[in-house]
Chains A and B, each alone.
Chain A
Amino acid sequence: MPTEKKRYGMVIDTRKCVGCMSCTISCKMENGVTYDGFRSWVDMTERGVFPKVKRNFIPKLCNHCENAPCVTVCPVKASYKNEDGIVLVNQKRCIGCGYCIVACPYSARYLHEGLKVADKCTFCDHRVELGLEPACVHNCMGKARIFGDLNDPLSEISQYITLNGVQTLRPDLGTNPHIFYIDAEINKLPNKGGK
């Protein structure tokens, strides 16, 4: 039985991602993300030696961490975690010190050039409130993104997590992300000389 309290999360099945960037574009359009920042994007890496080369797509966004470093470090409590697990920024309170942006180990925040405050993925909370999916999920042509309530064992996301092995980004940091990956090459070493 689902608990009364919702806890939103997302599964990204990288087997289904084709790197079309519709998530990136739809996010920018839905949320008015400025040119020089990203709330949602797709990292692309190539692995292997010709002719056995594979291109990997790793869609990324705010991990809506259980122990969010951005919330901890915010000096004015502008970054906060909603009851439903979504990490948000009170843009009227934010002073634009940039500490949360630097403290995010996933580089998921950026400084909104127009508003001069920190900005990040909100899981399209304005859509979720209306019972809709986030724009990136709605527009994913490969259906690689599954969004839902992690506390509801009958939800599609919970079923997906149960049936598939999932990974998270940087589990060593103890942030407990709410974004889960399936079959992702997430433990790659950095560019230039990585083996």
Chain B
Amino acid sequence: MSTHDVYVVVNASPWNYLVPLYIFFKGLSVGALCISALYTVFRSERFKTLAFPAAITSLLAFIPVPFLLLADLHQPLRFWHLLVNFNPMSVISWGTWLIILYPLCLLWYIARLALSQGISIPVLKGVQESASTSQSQSTSGFGFRGLSILTLSLALLADLYTAFLLGVVKGNVLWNSALLPGYFLTSAVVTGAALVLIVYLNKKPEEKTVRTLVKIIQGALALEIFFVISQWITLGATSLQGQKALELLWKDPVYLIGDILLGILVPLVLLNKPSLNKKPVLMIGALLVILGGLLLRFSIVGVGIQAAGLWN
């Protein structure tokens, strides 16, 4: 028997384009830092020359984040309420502190990294002087590695918290999924790596490093495909709610054409057999990867809100 809605009220969601933008820029920053950490944490010498530009890229990508966060609040002048009213059950409460601690740690990390590579940053002169003092007090290289591990951990947590923020929303099948944190983190790494690739291609790139970077992007894109297929299967097989959400997702051109086709499949083709002779192709591929990451956030947030409206 058919049921037709004649008059159904769904109170509008206050979340707009600022939320996916916020998640996207945070992911970019975290992804770029992951590339830097390949040298500072995982000691991969191949990424030595990339470590500093990747860290700077991470910092620059983070700049819009606090502004987007504040602009998204409808009472931005009450931001300080977040600092004095901690609700341990709320993901945003944890996220607030991560968003404060991560960039502070990142600044310190960049200053120490620059010092270790003999680079002077006029803007961060004060931080560098403090870092220099603490470095001279440090008895071994463990101090910087510890800082690197701490910065990377904060970065990962800062990225993951938004996935949990969506994931704990009851009754929203698209968000309420164990796949979402892994999906978002993979997307963050791939977009961050793509941004670092663009920056690196504009410097004096080494063929081997470019190839390794592209391999990382390709691997992360393959992992993203795994998450996409897993999401489709679980949504389609679990419940009618899931099927309806999947239907909405498939009908969303931002998702299917933007994220899947332009953001994953086309770059996989363009980034195949990378070579410095194909610099423009690599640039376009990397740009599409970043675009795909942006559109993924828009579709997941937007369709999630839309899907929840069907069942209230």
Contact = CB atoms under 8 A, between A and B. Distances in A.
Interface of A: 36-38, 41-49, 55, 60, 69, 72-78, 93-99, 101-111, 116-117, 170, 173-175, 185, 188-191, 194-195
Q: How large is the interface on B (under 10, 10 to 19, 20 to 34, 35 or more residues)?
A: 35 or more
A69 B169 contact: yes
Contacts of B15: 98, 102
B82 interface: yes
Contacts of A110: 11-12, 14
A95 B78 contact: yes
A175 B81 contact: no
Contacts of A102: 13-15, 169, 305, 308
A49 B240 CA distance: 23
Q: Is the interface of B mostly helix, strand, loop or mixed?
A: loop
A49 B12 contact: no
A93 B85 contact: yes
Nearest to A110: B11
A101 B96 CA distance: 19
A98 B75 CA distance: 10
Contacts of B9: 38, 41, 43, 60, 107
Interface of B: 1-15, 72-75, 78-79, 81-82, 85, 87, 89-93, 96, 165, 168-172, 240, 244, 305, 308-312
19 contacts: A42-B7, A47-B1, A47-B2, A47-B3, A72-B89, A76-B93, A78-B85, A95-B75, A96-B14, A97-B74, A98-B15, A103-B170, A107-B10, A116-B75, A185-B3, A188-B3, A194-B2, A194-B3, A195-B3
A190 B310 contact: yes
Contact of B169 (A37, A43, A103): A103
Given A94-B75, A96-B74, A45 B6 contact: yes
B171 A173 contact: yes
B244 A190 contact: yes
Q: Is the interface of A mostly helix, strand, loop or mixed?
A: loop
B272 to A, nearest CB: 40
A173 B241 CA distance: 13
A44 B10 CA distance: 12
A69 B89 CA distance: 10
A47 B3 CA distance: 5
Contacts of B14: 96, 98, 101-102, 110-111
Can you list the 5 inter-chain pairs with the closest CB atoms, starting with the nearest?
A: A96-B74, A98-B14, A105-B171, A75-B92, A107-B312
